[in-house]
Amino acid sequence: MRQLKGIKILLVDDEPHILEFLELGLTNEGFEVMTAQDGISAITACNKFQPHIAILDVMMPGMDGFEVCRMIKKTDNVAVIMLTAKDEIDDRVKGLTLGADDYMIKPFSFEELLARIYARIRNHFPNLFGEVIIGPLRMDDRRKEISMHDRILELSPTEYELLKFMAINHGLVLSKTMILDKVWGYDFGGEENIVEVYIRSLRDKLGDKEHKLIRTIRGAGYRMDLT
């Protein structure tokens, strides 16, 4: 995906070496970056900096990441990615309940964080994009069109949303439950096998007979490989 100028990211972590590493990497990607090492500083920075994305560590002295998330989500149109060293379901549920948009468990790869950042930007700030090119796909959300090698794909509205969701999260394993939540909605009352039906249809329309673009990860879900 091409770089976007003017995208601002707030990094909040009480470990200086993590801040330094992420700040360097994200700055090299073309983002504007501001850092904070505690919750109070994060709130002040958010009000001043007006970031598009806030990446919040959960465990911080004083005001933790949950409280920071709750406060900034009250007033700001900011996407929140929470970081934690604990792989506990209760923490994830709490963060999502308070408005977090994504969750990552330490340690993580920079490439995965970058993919999730672009996914959040794509979902929260679609007007920042004209056409988005990822690998062989060109997505135009204004026209609701996706083309592959300059050939417009004939997609139903649901196929369009599914392919877009998988493309902007390419390289990540997406479970059937996650796909249902993001494409069909949390109140979807149907069966999970509907995902298999739509994946099969997308593979046909993409000419993906060998499943090299949309891979089935046994026991985990699907991963789209575009680069």
Mean pLDDT of 153-169: 92
Element (H, E) at 222: strand 221-224
Whether 94 shows a pLDDT value over 90: the answer reads no
Fold (topology level) of 130-224: Arc Repressor Mutant, subunit A (1.10.10)
CA distances to 77, 81, 102, 128, 189 from 46, rounded to whole Å, are 11, 14, 18, 20, 38
Bridge-based pairing state of the strands 79-84 and 53-57: parallel
Alpha helix segments (H runs only) across 29-183: 39-49, 65-75, 89-97, 110-124, 157-168, 176-179
**In the predicted model, what is the mean pLDDT of the chain?**
86
Fold match flag (8-127 vs 130-224): no
Give residue limits of the domains in the chain: 8-127, 130-224
Kindly indicate the confidence band of residue 2, based on its pLDDT and cuts at 50, 70 and 90: very low
Kindly indicate the confidence band of residue 1, based on its pLDDT and cuts at 50, 70 and 90: very low
Bridge-based pairing state of the strands 151-152 and 137-140: unpaired
Domain 8-127 has CATH 3.20.20.80: no
What is the C-alpha separation between 166 and 174, in angstroms, rounded? Answer: 8
